[in-house]
């Protein structure tokens, strides 16, 4: 029989189907008495010396009842987690372009391998035994200073939002130290919602600047109208999630300073400006980077992260403690700001997620200054190629297209026309793209632009990858006209079918842990 | 299982004017037919009802005779009951209103109506707040968000509501434009009231952000901000719309939805007052004016709150304006300036500039009032 080559000419993966195991949660798999490890009984000599092991613990620390852990054998545990891992749509299996704003770039596996070398380190161990990782923290601090122009960085914040919270905390501490009672913070509609949430947590009232309907960036005059002696801080992402860069940013900062406010640069979209623009030159007092996004450590959507936060000279004393310093002979934890009257003191235990900082260090060292610049250049080129291809799709458009406001590293599109023509919404497309093994993101709520699509290719995908993603979208948008109900009832080839989120409206129904679930529903 | 009662109203002349260049059908339906206009409301209703066909044995349609809905219900095989008091043929706004009242007497679960903004106004004129409606877009002018995006979407949402898969509702504006002015390319919208419609929710997957608070919650937080900031012995003019209504509800006071009420020291001073009456109340007093964006185009004054005459606005003063809008409502403007049409060009000019718009308890947005 003649062997036929499999036809791979089809660029849209219509045959895709995600693995589906219908796997129970691990507590439901538990069987009383089943064990993964049988711990041998202690030697008599040991028992004679320390008792049964529990009796040595202070009485107040001893459990009154057995801990509620699932009981499973090793192979059941392994099978459970292997199945769950197959049911995910991770960055290593899909063309990760659709999660705009997340900077889902390729994270070199060698850096993962290197990070495994420090898994045995513990933050409580004697600094003299951890000089290597402390040096890496110290060196990475210097690199971040060079990249941003800031004077000192902390790696303590465990994520992007915590980095923003750190900046809000620094502003609050600074104003307290000056005896200021300012109560307002200014941000923009297109900045991340945490840019408002972080200062709000510190008790500030939030003022949003809306984008100019023509240019898409905030109006300086609007900013001046609300930036007053009540303004404690100004915080903005630049470029914003639309991919548009506010080239007047230095004027905003200058005016805020004139009014006595501090300025914070949310650099979650830092992939757009590496080696091109720095916080210092725009006049910012502080900034933060998501190491897990821009610096490839990788973005885990809730996994280990770091919102590295830096300040200009003169604000170092407000950074959370400890910092890692070098006295000429050894690296040490510097706690001198920990008990300062107006300091931030701490935003999290210890000094940062060490493997994340190590991977950042490796990534920067492997690229060098020119490599970082090439990252941004390539990400911008990819995005602008994709921008052109996207606008060729019937029904897809973008706002704020003028002669001089090129998109930088990402773009927010709109499928408003397709929605009006067919009734298929952008959230329907989000589900349908799962049927092709691809992510797709809309926008934060509430939508400022109608039926939004936010895409960010980063520097990682090839031209063929971008073409495949765009072709898949094109295929789906055509489906909207040919068979709208099929798109609206998606996904059809994914792990989970439609999730009715309306139940999330009522916090009383939430079960945020297994214990709460048992209390409410069993 | 008991069948769900679906009310159905077709405005048979809806959309006639558009197809022959008349920019609406209000008062010109005969001219439209003379010009060769073809009725399309029934065909659009059919597209909507197609979405309900799979469940037709669980539904009974209550409607008017012939072109008012009976004919299409029969053609599509739905069990139906017709209002015997009405007759097919020449219909007016009163026909629509009579049918709404009859459907409410039948205690229907949902009323689907096909038409445009004029039809929505007629529906509103006879609607009870407890009745749930949903519009099938069939008219020339569709500015009221009581209409679904297209007929199929209306049918699909009606189906979800009748089968209990959508249970929430929201109040949406009934707005209309003056067709005489529209025919001269002047768009002049006015807020007439609110209809309760089913609130569609999105089925999601792959979320990376939390659900936003509901519109009702957003209004509550705005109201709490305004109430907490209220100054003693100051007269607050609270006027028109669901966002400002939330303040009266927070204060547990009687209110006028499409009108202006006066509050001082958190007590009701006067209800549903206008121009000269307002002036009498606030003469010699400190006053603040609480308004929201009305009319779907971002109007602050001149659409649905004409009780606030130029004299009242001047007396209160630009610095005592408190502007409210939920983010959902504000974002629909996409950064476009707010508009004022007080009837006094000089005042309109004076009102231009930047304002803080309260969006929630701790949040405001900067909005610009255009200089025309």
Q: Could you report the per-residue pLDDT of B256-313, keeping only the tens digit for each? A: 888 899 999 999 999 999 888 999 999 999 999 999 987 567 889 877 777 889 999 9
| Chain A residues within 8 A of B203 when measuring between CB atoms | 427, 431, 498-501
Pairing mode, strands A452-455 and A411-414: antiparallel
- Alpha-carbon gap: A469 to the closest alpha carbon of chain B (Å): 17
CB contact under 8 A, A499 and B328: no
- pLDDT tens across A372-423, in order? 999 999 999 999 999 999 999 999 999 999 877 799 999 999 999 999 899 8
pLDDT at A431 over 90: yes
Q: Which of A312-326, A370-384, B220-234, B287-301 has the lowest mean pLDDT?
A: B287-301
Q: Which of residues 198 through 237 in chain A touch B, CB cutoff 8 A?
A: 200, 204-213, 219, 221-223, 225-226
For chain B, say whether A445 makes contact (Cβ under 8 Å). Answer: yes
| B184 or B115, which is more confident | B115
Share of chain B above pLDDT 90, in %: 54
Question: Which of A185, A206, A423 should one mutate to test binding to chain B, selecting the residue with the greatest count of B CBs within 10 A?
Answer: A423
How many Å apart are CA B329 and CA B348, to the nearest integer? 22
Q: Which band of pLDDT confidence, cut at 50, 70 and 90, is reported for residue B245?
A: very high
- Alpha-carbon gap: B115 to the closest alpha carbon of chain A (Å): 17
- pLDDT tens across B133-154, in order? 999 988 877 788 899 878 888 9
| A131 or B34, which is more confident | A131
- pLDDT tens across A218-240, in order? 999 999 999 999 999 999 999 99
Of these ranges, A291-300, A507-516, B183-192, B303-312, the one predicted with the greatest mean pLDDT is: A291-300
Q: In this structure, are A414 and A457 located in the same domain?
A: yes
How many Å apart are CA B202 and CA A430, to the nearest integer? 11
| A72 or A509, which is more confident | A72
Which tokens is A175 given?
A: 């104003």
How many Å apart are CA B314 and CA B303, to the nearest integer? 17
Question: Which of B206, B334, B360, B365 should one mutate to test binding to chain A, selecting the residue with the greatest count of A CBs within 10 A?
Answer: B206
For chain A, say whether B364 makes contact (Cβ under 8 Å). Answer: yes
**Predicted pLDDT of residue B182:** 62
A232 and A182 in contact (C-beta within 8 Å)?
Answer: yes
For chain A, say whether B354 makes contact (Cβ under 8 Å). Answer: yes
| A462 or B171, which is more confident | A462
**Predicted pLDDT of residue B187:** 58
Q: In this structure, are A327 and A456 located in the same domain?
A: no
Domain contains A257: yes
pLDDT at A324 over 70: yes
Nearest to B33 by CA among B13, B61, B55, B49: B13
CB contact under 8 A, A431 and B205: yes
Q: Which of A500-509, B34-43, B58-67, B236-245 has the lowest mean pLDDT?
A: A500-509
Find the angle CA(B300)-CA(B306)-CA(B312) to the nearest 5 degrees.
85
| B177 or A128, which is more confident | A128
| A505 or A243, which is more confident | A243
Among A211, A431, A494, the residue with its CB nearest the CB of B335 is A211
The arithmetic mean of pLDDT across residues A100-116, rounded, is 94
pLDDT at B75 over 80: yes
State how many domains chain A has: 2
Q: In this structure, are A250 and A118 located in the same domain?
A: yes
Domain contains A348: yes
CB contact under 8 A, B206 and A431: yes
pLDDT at A366 over 60: yes
> Residue B78: what are its φ and ψ, rounded to 5°?
-80, 140
**Predicted pLDDT of residue B206:** 47
- pLDDT tens across A2-60, in order? 888 877 777 899 989 999 998 999 999 999 999 999 989 889 998 898 888 788 889 89
B175 and B144 in contact (C-beta within 8 Å)?
Answer: yes
What is the H or E stretch that residue A299 is in? none
Please state, in angstroms and as integers, the Cα–Cα distance from residue A152 to each residue in A29, A262, A291, A319, following that order: 49, 16, 16, 9
Share of chain B above pLDDT 70, in %: 86
Q: In this structure, are A266 and A398 located in the same domain?
A: no
CB contact under 8 A, B356 and A207: yes
For chain A, say whether B293 makes contact (Cβ under 8 Å). Answer: no
CB contact under 8 A, A210 and B335: yes
pLDDT at B217 over 90: no
What is the H or E stretch that residue A424 is in? none
Q: Which band of pLDDT confidence, cut at 50, 70 and 90, is reported for residue A522?
A: confident
Nearest to A111 by CA among A376, A365, A462, A324: A365
**Predicted pLDDT of residue A511:** 83
pLDDT at B24 over 70: no
Rounded mean pLDDT of chain B?
86
Domain contains A458: yes
**Cβ within 8 Å of residue A232, ≥6 positions away:** A171, A172, A175, A180, A182, A183, A184, A185, A199, A204, A261, A262
Among B331, B354, B356, the residue with its CB nearest the CB of A448 is B331
**Predicted pLDDT of residue B25:** 60
The arithmetic mean of pLDDT across residues B314-321, rounded, is 95
For A517, the 3-state DSSP assignment is helix
Would you say how long chain A is, in residues?
Answer: 522
Please state, in angstroms and as integers, the Cα–Cα distance from residue A491 to each residue in A426, A428, A486, A517, following that order: 13, 9, 9, 27
- Alpha-carbon gap: A5 to the closest alpha carbon of chain B (Å): 36
Pairing mode, strands A286-290 and A262-267: parallel
- Alpha-carbon gap: B116 to the closest alpha carbon of chain A (Å): 16
Find, in chain B, the residue whose alpha carbon is nearest to that of A209. Answer: B366
**Predicted pLDDT of residue B215:** 79
pLDDT at A259 over 90: yes
Map tokens 């007052």 to a residue.
Answer: B273
The arithmetic mean of pLDDT across residues A488-504, rounded, is 81
B146 and B73 in contact (C-beta within 8 Å)?
Answer: no
Domain contains A260: yes
How many Å apart are CA A147 and CA A86, to the nearest integer? 38
Task: Enter the DSSP assignment of B132.
Answer: B
For chain B, say whether A417 makes contact (Cβ under 8 Å). Answer: no
**Predicted pLDDT of residue A519:** 87
How many Å apart are CA B203 and CA A452, to the nearest integer? 16
Q: In this structure, are A336 and A410 located in the same domain?
A: no
Residue numbers of the domain that contains A303: 113-365
CB contact under 8 A, A226 and B356: yes
Q: In this structure, are A261 and A388 located in the same domain?
A: no
Q: In this structure, are A359 and A393 located in the same domain?
A: no
Domain contains A47: no
**Predicted pLDDT of residue B150:** 80
For chain A, say whether B54 makes contact (Cβ under 8 Å). Answer: no
How many Å apart are CA A457 and CA B2, to the nearest integer? 53
pLDDT at A196 over 90: yes
Domain contains A398: yes
Rounded mean pLDDT of chain A?
93
- Alpha-carbon gap: A448 to the closest alpha carbon of chain B (Å): 5
Sign of CA dihedral A307, A313, A318, A324: positive
**Domain limit, last residue, from A313, A334, A365:** A365
A115 and A355 in contact (C-beta within 8 Å)?
Answer: yes
**Cβ within 8 Å of residue B38, ≥6 positions away:** B16, B19
Q: In this structure, are A185 and A317 located in the same domain?
A: yes
The arithmetic mean of pLDDT across residues B78-92, rounded, is 87
Q: In this structure, are A151 and A220 located in the same domain?
A: yes
For chain A, say whether B319 makes contact (Cβ under 8 Å). Answer: no
Q: Output b/e per residue, A219-245; b: 16+ Cβ within 10 A.
A: bbebbbbbbeebbbbbbbbbbbbbbbb
- Alpha-carbon gap: A455 to the closest alpha carbon of chain B (Å): 14
| Chain B residues within 8 A of A199 when measuring between CB atoms | none
**Predicted pLDDT of residue B199:** 84
Query: CATH no. for residue A463?
Result: 3.90.1150.10
pLDDT at B248 over 70: yes
Among B156, B205, B212, the residue with its CB nearest the CB of A446 is B212
**Cβ within 8 Å of residue A274, ≥6 positions away:** A147, A294, A372, A373, A375, A376
Q: Which of residues 109 through 168 in chain A touch B, CB cutoff 8 A?
A: none
pLDDT at A501 over 80: no
**Cβ within 8 Å of residue A435, ≥6 positions away:** A16, A490, A491, A492, A493, A494
Q: In this structure, are A170 and A227 located in the same domain?
A: yes
CB contact under 8 A, B212 and A434: no
For chain B, say whether A88 makes contact (Cβ under 8 Å). Answer: no
Q: In this structure, are A494 and A412 located in the same domain?
A: yes
The arithmetic mean of pLDDT across residues B81-87, rounded, is 88
How many Å apart are CA A455 and CA A465, to the nearest integer? 13
| B6 or B38, which is more confident | B6
Query: CATH no. for residue A278?
Result: 3.40.640.10
Q: Which of A206-210, B187-191, B312-316 has the lowest mean pLDDT?
A: B187-191
Find, in chain A, the residue whose alpha carbon is nearest to that of B51. Answer: A485
How many Å apart are CA A265 and CA B229, to the nearest integer? 32
Find the angle CA(A220)-CA(A223)-CA(A228) to the nearest 5 degrees.
135
Q: In this structure, are A357 and A424 located in the same domain?
A: no
Q: What's the CATH number for B4-198?
A: 3.40.50.10330
Domain contains A372: no
A501 and A443 in contact (C-beta within 8 Å)?
Answer: no
Among B209, B212, B365, the residue with its CB nearest the CB of A210 is B365
A218 and A167 in contact (C-beta within 8 Å)?
Answer: no
């Amino acid at each position: 029989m003649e062997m036929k080559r499999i036809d791979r000419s089809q660029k849209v993966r219509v045959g895709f189907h995600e693995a589906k195991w219908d796997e129970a949660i691990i507590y439901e798999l538990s069987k009383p008495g089943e064990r993964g490890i049988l711990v041998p009984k202690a030697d008599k000599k040991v028992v004679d010396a320390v008792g049964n092991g529990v009796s040595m613990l202070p009485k107040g620390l001893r459990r009154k009842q057995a801990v509620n852990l699932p009981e499973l054998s090793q192979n059941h545990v392994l099978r459970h987690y292997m199945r769950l891992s197959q049911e995910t749509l991770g960055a290593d299996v899909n063309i990760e372009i659709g999660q705009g704003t997340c900077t889902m770039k390729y994270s070199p596996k060698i850096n993962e391998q290197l990070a495994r070398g420090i898994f045995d380190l513990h933050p409580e161990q004697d600094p003299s035994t951890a000089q290597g990782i402390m040096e890496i923290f110290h060196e990475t601090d210097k690199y971040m200073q060079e990249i941003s122009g800031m004077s000192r960085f902390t790696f303590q914040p465990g994520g992007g939002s915590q980095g923003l919270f750190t900046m809000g905390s620094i502003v609050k501490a600074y104003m307290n130290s000056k005896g200021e009672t300012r109560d307002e913070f200014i941000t923009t509609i297109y900045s991340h919602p945490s840019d408002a949430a972080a200062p709000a947590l510190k008790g500030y009232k939030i003022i949003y600047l809306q984008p100019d309907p023509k240019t898409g960036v905030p109006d300086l005059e609007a900013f001046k109208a609300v930036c007053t002696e009540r303004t404690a801080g100004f915080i903005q992402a630049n470029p914003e999630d639309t991919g548009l860069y506010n080239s007047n940013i230095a004027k905003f900062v200058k005016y805020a300073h004139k009014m006595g406010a501090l300025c914070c640069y949310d650099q979650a979209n830092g992939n757009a400006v590496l080696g091109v623009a720095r916080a210092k030159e725009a006049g910012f007092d502080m900034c933060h980077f998501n190491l897990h996004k821009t610096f490839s450590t990788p973005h885990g959507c809730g996994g280990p992260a770091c919102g590295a936060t830096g300040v200009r000279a003169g604000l170092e004393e407000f950074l959370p403690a400890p910092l890692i310093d070098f006295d000429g002979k050894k690296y040490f934890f510097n706690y001198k700001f920990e008990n300062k009257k107006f300091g931030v003191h701490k935003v999290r235990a210890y000094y940062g997620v060490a493997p994340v900082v190590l991977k950042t260090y490796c990534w920067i060292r492997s690229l060098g200054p020119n490599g970082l610049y090439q990252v941004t250049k390539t990400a911008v080129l990819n995005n602008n190629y994709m921008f052109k291809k996207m606008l060729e799709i019937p029904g897809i458009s973008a706002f704020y297209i003028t002669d001089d406001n090129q998109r930088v590293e990402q773009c927010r599109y709109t499928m408003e026309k397709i929605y009006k023509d067919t009734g298929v919404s952008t959230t329907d497309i989000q589900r349908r793209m799962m049927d092709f093994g691809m992510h797709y993101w809309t926008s934060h709520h509430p939508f400022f632009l109608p039926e939004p699509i936010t895409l960010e290719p980063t520097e990682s995908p090839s031209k063929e990858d971008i073409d495949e993603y765009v072709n898949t979208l094109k295929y789906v948008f055509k489906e909207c006209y040919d068979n709208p109900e099929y798109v609206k009832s998606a996904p059809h080839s994914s792990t989970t079918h439609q999730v009715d989120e309306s139940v999330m409206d009522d916090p009383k129904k939430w079960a945020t842990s297994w214990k709460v679930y048992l209390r409410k529903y069993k | 299982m008991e069948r769900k009662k679906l009310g159905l109203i077709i405005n048979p002349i809806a959309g006639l004017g558009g197809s022959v260049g008349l920019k609406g059908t209000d008062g010109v339906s005969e001219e439209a037919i003379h010009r060769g206009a073809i009725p399309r409301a029934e065909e659009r209703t059919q597209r909507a009802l197609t979405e309900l066909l799979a469940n037709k044995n669980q539904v009974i349609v209550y409607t008017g005779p012939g072109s008012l809905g009976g004919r299409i219900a029969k053609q599509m095989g739905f069990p139906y009951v017709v209002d015997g008091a009405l007759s097919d043929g020449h219909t007016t706004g009163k026909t629509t209103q009579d049918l709404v009242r009859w459907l409410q007497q039948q205690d229907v679960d949902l009323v689907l109506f096909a038409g445009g903004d004029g039809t929505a106004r007629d529906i509103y004129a006879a609607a009870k707040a407890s009745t749930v409606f949903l519009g099938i877009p069939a008219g020339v002018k569709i500015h009221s968000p009581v209409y679904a995006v297209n007929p199929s979407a209306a049918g699909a949402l009606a189906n979800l509501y009748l089968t209990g898969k959508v249970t929430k509702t929201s109040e949406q504006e009934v707005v209309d434009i003056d067709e005489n002015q529209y025919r001269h390319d002047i768009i002049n919208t006015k807020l007439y009231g609110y209809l309760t419609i089913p609130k569609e929710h999105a089925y999601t997957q792959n979320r990376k952000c939390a659900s936003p608070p509901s519109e009702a919650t957003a209004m509550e937080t705005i109201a709490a901000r305004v109430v907490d900031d209220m100054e003693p012995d100051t007269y607050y003019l609270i006027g028109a719309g669901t966002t400002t209504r939330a303040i009266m509800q927070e204060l547990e006071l009687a209110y006028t939805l499409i009108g202006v009420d006066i509050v001082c020291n958190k007590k009701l001073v006067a209800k549903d007052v206008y121009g000269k009456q307002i002036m009498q109340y606030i003469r010699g007093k400190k006053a603040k004016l609480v308004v929201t964006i009305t009319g779907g185009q971002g109007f602050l004054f001149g659409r649905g709150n004409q009780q606030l005459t130029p004299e009242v606005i001047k007396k209160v003063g630009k610095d005592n304006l408190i502007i409210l809008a939920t983010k959902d409502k504000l974002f629909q403007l996409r950064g476009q300036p707010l508009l004022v049409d007080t009837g006094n060009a000089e005042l309109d000019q004076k009102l231009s500039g930047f304002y803080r718009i309260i969006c929630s308890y701790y949040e405001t947005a900067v909005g610009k009032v255009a200089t025309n």
